[in-house]
Chain A
């Protein structure tokens, strides 16, 4: 079973994503900011990451860059409410595999993660 990490500053959103993703994947780590995400990625080596953007300490866009600098094969999907055209473009051009705008349907999340391993 593929291993996942959920990064979001809101506990309710981490709970919801975990509930959706646990049906098919092993969620091995969570993080509530970008800095914690980088630390936990190194520790747990997940196969994929869902990454919020608006977070204190280190935001999701910075964490995306940091992780991809060190782990170019990291599979990171952005999950954010701030899905402006420019942000989506920026995230995808930095190497994010997909961009899910909140609020989302559970199927949209499962579809995006499923595509990573096709």
Chain B
């Protein structure tokens, strides 16, 4: 895992929150971990293949996921927002990963990403990759947002 693989996710997360949600995301901490296991109750896992490969795991508390959905779909009623939460956070993760992949791919390479898999509330019984991971945490008016970047270059 190289730091330059994580940097595009900082740029992409900040710009996607601003453009899609009109929310100002601020950098908090950067930690190095042994795998991309998330720490919060809502997680979105996206696989990456191509020039760089591995997993990116996004994580946030449920109230943050709800606030993301509300910001993405203003005017919807609370019951409807709860039903749409999974779709909203998966699309947010998809856009951030897509934007970061544009930077990582540059002119020469191609990077594919898998459709997002969303987990809400349950214990995660998933085998995460054992890849050195850069865990980026962000703060915002709606709460904390975590991005675990576990990528290696081909």
- Chain A contact residues, CB within 8 Å of chain B: 9-13, 15-16, 54-56, 80-87, 101-103
Contact = CB atoms under 8 A, between A and B. Distances in A.
B69 to A, nearest CB: 8
Classify the interface of chain B: helix, strand, loop or mixed: helix
A45 B65 CA distance: 37
5 contacts: A81-B99, A82-B101, A82-B102, A102-B94, A103-B16
B107 A85 contact: yes
A54 B98 contact: yes
Nearest to B20: A103
A80 B98 contact: yes
A83 B107 contact: no
Given A80-B98, A81-B97, A103-B16, A13 B105 contact: no
Interface stretch (B33-41, B85-93, B139-147): B85-93
Contact of A55 (B73, B88, B95, B115): B115
A54 B113 contact: yes
Contacts of A85: 105-107
A54 B96 CA distance: 13
A47 B73 CA distance: 27
Contact of A103 (B88, B95, B112): B95
Nearest to A61: B112
B73 A12 contact: yes
Nearest to B111: A84
A81 B84 contact: no
